Amino acid sequence: MSPLRQAAFALAAMLPFLPGFGQAQNRTQPRDITIEAFAFEHFSAFERERRQFGRLTFLGGLELRARDSEFGGFSAAQTEPDGRGFIAITDHGSWLRARFVEEAGTGKLTGIDQARIGPLLAPNGRRLKETRYFDAEGAARKGSQLFVSVERSHDILQFDLAADGTPGRGRLIEVPAEVKTLALNGGMEGLGVMPRQSAHAGALVALAEKAPPGAASTDIPGFILGASGGRFLVRRIGSFDVTDVNFLPAGDMVILERRFIPLLGLGMRLRRIPIAEVKPGAVLTGEILIEADLSHQIDNMEALMIHRDAKGRAILTLMSDNNFSILQRNLVLRFALDE
């Protein structure tokens, strides 16, 4: 949990008492919801016509709102191969399934439809938010299986997806003992599946948010799970912490990072790391693709989705975690990467 989230906690507690907040609903069951999407075309507040940011081209964004108390707090998301359907995970242990609406031929986002939300279920059948697994942070998808990392308990849960994409009851999978030594609010923030271009293809990879207490350096631990896996480090640059990880169609790893400094505000960064370098014992630095602050259309960016579009472009779609705070926004940002 970031300092930003801690600062927003008290505000979030006020939300149920605001006029018109939420709708009468059974929050223990999946349900259809309506999401209002407000499109915007500029990323920079001061260069509103600018679209190119290094090797990234901004394709537009959305601000999302919905009258459902479980909507928000998006910490991780995975897209379908077409880049339209997606599943997102919230801090409160809910899932959201929906589809992006795009402008034909451009990839520009115009809305959200077919949205459905429901609770992730713990191994005992209870909602995650009612158990020790309530702080869901990372998500990875492998076929019909969804994996979710839990920050405070330092666990990973596996969910089988039904034909309609609804997750079943979760079950715990084994994690390295060292994962349990991560910081209480700095555990497994990013979760991914190693791509076919890797010697560890198909293995889960987990990145901590920050270094654990008492670590010899501030570099951030990562873990390739499985018998042939092991530990590596991501070089910490400045005050940025890891919030998600994903892989380009060509295989390289992309890390989403966030900075929060009181008075100075928020920042976000994307780093690209050659897949051949991602292996046990490595210390990874990579190439900075973009770095942005509050002079840009950002919030607490925590989720990174990647797909290849019909034009062959690698498309990066980011979502923000608004901490269920009235002072923050649920944003979606979409970029095309010049590979």
| pLDDT (tens digit per residue) in 84-139 | 999 999 999 999 999 999 998 888 899 999 999 999 999 999 999 999 998 999 99
Determine contact, residues 185/241, Cβ cutoff 8 Å. Answer: no
**Residue 276: C-alpha distances to residues 8, 178, 228, 280 (Å):** 39, 24, 15, 11
What CA–CA distance (Å, rounded) separates 4 from 13? 15
Give the pair of three-digit tokens for residue 48: 């509103």
The amino acid occupying position 45 is A
What CA–CA distance (Å, rounded) separates 197 from 98? 29
3-state helix, strand, coil in the chain (%, to 5): 10, 45, 45
Out of 1.10.1740, 2.115.10, 2.40.160, 2.60.40, the CATH code matching 3-23+30-337 is 2.115.10
What CA–CA distance (Å, rounded) separates 323 from 308? 30
From the list 53, 60, 34, the residue with the least C-alpha distance to 113 is: 34
- Measured over the CA atoms of residue 269, residue 60, residue 333 and residue 64, the dihedral's sign is positive
End-to-end CA distance of the chain: 33
pLDDT at 163: 93
pLDDT of 254 over the 50 cut: yes
What pTM was computed for the model?
0.91
* Total Cβ atoms within 10 A of residue 81: 9
The whole-chain average pLDDT of the chain stands at 92
What CA–CA distance (Å, rounded) separates 177 from 74? 27
Q: In the structure, what pLDDT confidence band is assigned to residue 6 with cuts at 50, 70 and 90?
A: low
From the list 288, 292, 181, 193, the residue with the least C-alpha distance to 235 is: 288
Q: For the chain, what's the residue count?
A: 339
Let me know the angle formed at the C-alpha of 261 by 259 and 265, rounded to the nearest 5 degrees.
85
| Domain residue ranges of the chain, discontinuous segments joined by + | 3-23+30-337
3-state SS assignment for residue 3: helix
* Total Cβ atoms within 10 A of residue 108: 16
pLDDT of 184 over the 90 cut: no
Mean pLDDT (whole number) for 42-48: 96
**59 HSE (CA, 13 A, CB side):** 25
In the chain, which ranges are continuous DSSP H helix? 3-14
3-state SS assignment for residue 45: coil
| pLDDT (tens digit per residue) in 140-151 | 999 999 999 999
3-state SS assignment for residue 178: helix
What CA–CA distance (Å, rounded) separates 276 from 270? 18
Ramachandran angles phi, psi of 12, nearest 5° = -60, -35
| Lowest-confidence region among 12-21, 154-163, 203-212, 275-284 | 12-21
pLDDT at 217: 94
